[in-house]
Structure 1
Amino acid sequence: MDEPAYAADEPPEVRAERDPVAVAVGNASLLGVGYLLMGRRGLFLASGTVTVALVWTVASVAEPWCEVVLLVWWLLVVAHGWLLARGAQNRMRRGQQDPATRAQLHPALPGQRGPARLGQWLRALAVTVPVLLVVGLLRFDAHAIEDRVTEARESGDCVGVVSAQERVWFGHRLAGAPLADRGDVAVAACGRLDEARAELSAGLRDADVEALGAGYRILASLLEEPGNEQTVEAALDDFLGGLPTDDACETVRVTDWLRARGDGPDLLDRSSAVATRAAPAALLDCGDDLLGKQQWPQARSQYEQLLDEHPDDTRTKQARGGLRKVTLGLQLDHLRELVNKTGSATSGYCADPAKYSGAPAYRKGANRALFLGDDEYPDKLPDRWKAQIPDEAALIVCVGTESFGTAVETCPYRDADSGGPTRNVTFHKIRVPVKAYEVRTGKLVADRSVQIDGTSCPYFLTYYGVVPTSDWVEPSASDVRDAFSSIVNR
């Protein structure tokens, strides 16, 4: 007959009270208490090692399957402890049926069995109940924290997510690792969301499309992970709420980039609709700003984009008005450039006249004119006839080089010093070729010579070298005015 597996020096009453339920309850603590009750120290150390390894795996891997493995292990050690104790109990009962061993093994069995069993239960429960209670409370609290994290996440409140997750400590990670890990994932997502917010803020502040692209890529990657929709939407709302910015031209760059992303079912693609609503006002304001800075080509680009992309917008009339101003600005710049290049009646504007539609009208009566070329005689004209800058002039008059005009009078002159022969000097009007252009249209309105009259045959004739045979009359201011009157007056 086989000898029961008892320790040789174990008291008989302890050997008799290895209750299967107490052993199972002790093992339910996962601390191997049941094995200690049976005196199986080897099993106690082995099970403890496996338990520590599994708990560490659960805490570090934080996957549900790890908890399933730990649960299976818990059931196995509970069942193994019960079966092990039950087997020992059966062997003991078989031993009781042998009169030779009954007295040897159980000399005090009838009076001590009940109290011994109760003591084992109490010892097992004293360990297992606190362990299971602590684990249960920690898991309950971990679920509560996860609920708060989820609630904050679903409301788009990343501050609330981080605040709730800060309550997690090592105990939660041991008792509910997957729950704590999901909170960590949410906090990490909020960290990435903060990075996206920073990129979008920089992109909005500096119209930096590279920063905008980086921010949207982060948001897109977050949307690929479940549970981030609300926090991403909150970040997107904050970004789009910053449109338009204080700088209209920077707003245009941002809205152009957003609209280029296109439309679609993705949450981020509603940015295009917001940009489309903000773009017309930004384009108009940007065009006006550039117009004020006389950056004509850039302003024209903004107005044309508004008309091309938003033809039904109420601002199109203002955009067309802006384009007209741009056209005038370009014409005026070109006119000024030509005037500055004019050195004679055959260069600059006089060689290649151009229109400026914003010039004063060429009307009946006196018209202010800008005189180019030879300025000797135009300098004697009344100030009310002369324009100082091109955009004030209704006419631009190109004045050529003087020549002899109609003969007025011939007079004899003798050199007083030499007493030489008498010479006849014929005095002529001053012929000045002029071409007059209407500034508003650039058209030639006069192409002729004017003749300036004046006094002739002065008492003294000043000359150098040989006495001339021809000379000009000496015009007065009124003579010059009379000559040019037909050009200035229509």
Structure 2
Amino acid sequence: MLGRYGRAVATGFVTLVLLDILVQSGHSLWFELVVLLWWAALVANGWFLAGGRNAWAGWSGAGAVRGQLAVALAATLPVLLALGLLRYDAATIGGSLADARRTGDCAKALRAERDIWFGDRLADSPLAADAERTARACRELGRAKADLTTALTGDTGALRRGFDGLASVLAHEPGHRRMVEVVLDGFLRGLPARDHCDTVLVTDWLGARRASHDALDRSVATVARTAPAALIGCGDQLMSAKEWATARIQYQNLLARYPGFARAAEAREGVRKATLAIELAQVTRLLEESDDATDLETGYCADPVKYSGAPRYRKGADKAYFTGDSEYVGKLPGSWKTGDAAKASLVVCVGEKGMGERVQTCPYEPESGSGGITNVTFRKIAVPVRVYELRTGKRVIDRKLQIGGSSCPSRIHYQSFLSGGPPPDEMYVDASTSDIRGAFQSLVSR
């Protein structure tokens, strides 16, 4: 209006820069005060350039001044009215943001942040900055929530990332504690997880977590509430999967950490059953190695172990698991033996037969009439045996059984590399089923 176009362009450019910084950067209240002071300085500058009080001194110029004042007010009042309306709208959004932070409602906070437009940023830049901080916190909490949901499947890496995200919001985004608590509470309500062993992984991690002396320490109470039952459940679950060693560890962890738990007796029974299952699995593996072996230095026969659940070795008949050379085992009564190691009192290791005690020597002449008389000595069948008490793994018998039988038959049959060659100097007696049983009976009866 004064025709000072250069000054108007310069001050207008500065005004636009300040407003752009205000809108884009979202500075706090002090920067708003800078903008207001700049506005006041422009008004004062215009007043003085227009002559200030002197402009009103002469009556003749008063009308022109009043006209210019009317133009200025006509331009200023709509700006002030718009600013007031925008401040009111921003205050409404600010109230929604504050309520969202108070209740921990990130969805509501993000909706409020999306409602902020250029006018709100111009009228109330601290509100925009505040909304952006809340939106940033909510986005980080959203990632943490997703990680914590994944953690319920036993993923401790996701669990660590989730807690790191919550801790980051608490440390770097003040005023969002309730939002952190809402996410944390949602995760803790998911415990125990569907899978007991997944729950154990989560509670073990939470239990080992160093106290941070903030809202995240609320997880300690949840660990105490859910971990004991989860340890029992995980042990049972692993027992069903035949992972006995790991199952026993879970039961033992329960007894060590929560000895006063109401279901501690179940854990002790679980330890007992798991121990028996481990022992039986080891026994079975060793017996499989020694089955059909012809020596006594293989599998169980060389490295016996105990099975505490085996029936006691007692007077009378005991069921035995026979392993090793099976030539004579098939002729023993079924009441003496079992193929189930869990039902055996004894393990009888049978080695390869050899010549035993001399019984009788008899002369034989070839039927062909050629060749001289050969004396053949008949010997008992010597079978090396080792007998172990399965309940303790101790060796109770180590000797050679002498199986008797008939000797010196009227005719003998033999094989020779030389056709018509002489018979062997020694031969086994002809052992009957009763002879075999009589020799083996001392092993299973006492």
TM-score when normalising by structure 2: 0.85
Paired with 2:248 and 2:140, the residues of 1 have a C-alpha distance of: 41
Partner of 1:209 in structure 2?
156
Paired with 1:265 and 1:448, the residues of 2 have a C-alpha distance of: 71
State the Cα distance separating 1:305 from its structure 2 match: 2.2
User: What secondary structure does 1:445 align onto?
Assistant: strand
Does the 8 Å contact 1:240/1:271 carry over to 2?
Answer: yes
Partner of 1:254 in structure 2?
202
Paired with 1:119 and 1:430, the residues of 2 have a C-alpha distance of: 140
Equivalences for residues 103-114 of structure 1 within 5 A? none
Does the 8 Å contact 2:319/2:338 carry over to 1?
Answer: yes
Equivalences for residues 46-125 of structure 1 within 5 A? 47-62=11-26, 63-81=28-46, 84-90=51-57, 92=58, 122-125=70-73
State the Cα distance separating 1:124 from its structure 2 match: 4.2
State the Cα distance separating 1:117 from its structure 2 match: 7.7
Paired with 1:128 and 1:477, the residues of 2 have a C-alpha distance of: 125
State the Cα distance separating 1:449 from its structure 2 match: 4.4
Amino acid at match of 2:30: W
Aligned mate of 1:197, from 137, 145, 150: 145
Paired with 1:89 and 1:194, the residues of 2 have a C-alpha distance of: 64
Task: List gaps (5 residues or longer) in structure 1.
Answer: 1-35, 94-104
User: What secondary structure does 2:225 align onto?
Assistant: helix
Aligned mate of 1:439, from 390, 396, 400: 390
Paired with 1:86 and 1:254, the residues of 2 have a C-alpha distance of: 78
Partner of 1:27 in structure 2?
none
Q: Do residues 325 (structure 1) and 290 (structure 2) align? A: no
Partner of 1:223 in structure 2?
170
Distance 1:381-1:69 versus aligned 2 partners, 3 A rule: same
Equivalences for residues 179-328 of structure 1 within 5 A? 179-205=127-153, 207-224=154-171, 225-328=173-276
User: What secondary structure does 1:326 align onto?
Assistant: helix
Paired with 2:133 and 2:84, the residues of 1 have a C-alpha distance of: 23
User: What secondary structure does 1:166 align onto?
Assistant: helix
Q: Deviations over 1:152-199 (max 9, x none)?
A: 122111110111122211111111111222112211211121122223
Amino acid at match of 1:69: V
Distance 1:123-1:347 versus aligned 2 partners, 3 A rule: same
User: What secondary structure does 1:475 align onto?
Assistant: coil
Does the 8 Å contact 1:57/1:66 carry over to 2?
Answer: no
Partner of 1:391 in structure 2?
342
Partner of 1:340 in structure 2?
288
Does the 8 Å contact 1:196/1:216 carry over to 2?
Answer: yes
State the Cα distance separating 1:85 from its structure 2 match: 4.0
Higher mean alpha-carbon deviation, 466-475 vs 269-278, is at 466-475
Paired with 1:56 and 1:426, the residues of 2 have a C-alpha distance of: 120
Distance 1:53-1:338 versus aligned 2 partners, 3 A rule: closer
Distance 1:125-1:424 versus aligned 2 partners, 3 A rule: closer
Does the 8 Å contact 2:355/2:379 carry over to 1?
Answer: no
Aligned mate of 1:143, from 76, 80, 91: 91
Amino acid at match of 2:160: G
Distance 1:460-1:123 versus aligned 2 partners, 3 A rule: same
Paired with 1:49 and 1:124, the residues of 2 have a C-alpha distance of: 20
Paired with 2:9 and 2:380, the residues of 1 have a C-alpha distance of: 134
Paired with 1:221 and 1:471, the residues of 2 have a C-alpha distance of: 89
State the Cα distance separating 1:429 from its structure 2 match: 4.5
Distance 1:405-1:89 versus aligned 2 partners, 3 A rule: same
After superposition, the CA RMSD in angstroms is 3.0
TM-score when normalising by structure 1: 0.78
Distance 1:438-1:141 versus aligned 2 partners, 3 A rule: same
Q: How many residues align?
A: 433
Distance 1:51-1:351 versus aligned 2 partners, 3 A rule: closer
Paired with 1:163 and 1:448, the residues of 2 have a C-alpha distance of: 89
Higher mean alpha-carbon deviation, 273-282 vs 252-261, is at 273-282
Distance 1:352-1:44 versus aligned 2 partners, 3 A rule: closer
Does the 8 Å contact 1:286/1:299 carry over to 2?
Answer: yes
Does the 8 Å contact 1:357/1:440 carry over to 2?
Answer: yes
Distance 1:130-1:377 versus aligned 2 partners, 3 A rule: same
Does the 8 Å contact 2:374/2:422 carry over to 1?
Answer: no
Amino acid at match of 1:220: A
State the Cα distance separating 1:129 from its structure 2 match: 2.2
- State, as a whole percentage, how many aligned pairs show the same letter: 46
Paired with 2:111 and 2:397, the residues of 1 have a C-alpha distance of: 86
Paired with 2:398 and 2:68, the residues of 1 have a C-alpha distance of: 131
Partner of 2:418 in structure 1?
none
Paired with 2:401 and 2:119, the residues of 1 have a C-alpha distance of: 109
Structure having the higher Rg = 1
Q: Do residues 477 (structure 1) and 438 (structure 2) align? A: no
Does the 8 Å contact 1:397/1:435 carry over to 2?
Answer: yes
User: What secondary structure does 1:305 align onto?
Assistant: helix
Amino acid at match of 1:217: D
User: What secondary structure does 2:348 align onto?
Assistant: strand
Distance 1:410-1:61 versus aligned 2 partners, 3 A rule: closer
Q: Deviations over 1:199-231 (max 9, x none)?
A: 3233333x3333322222221121122211011
Amino acid at match of 2:294: S
Equivalences for residues 417-432 of structure 1 within 5 A? 417-418=368-369, 427-432=378-383
Amino acid at match of 1:404: G
Equivalences for residues 4-43 of structure 1 within 5 A? 36=1
Aligned mate of 1:458, from 399, 404, 409: 409
Distance 1:476-1:131 versus aligned 2 partners, 3 A rule: same
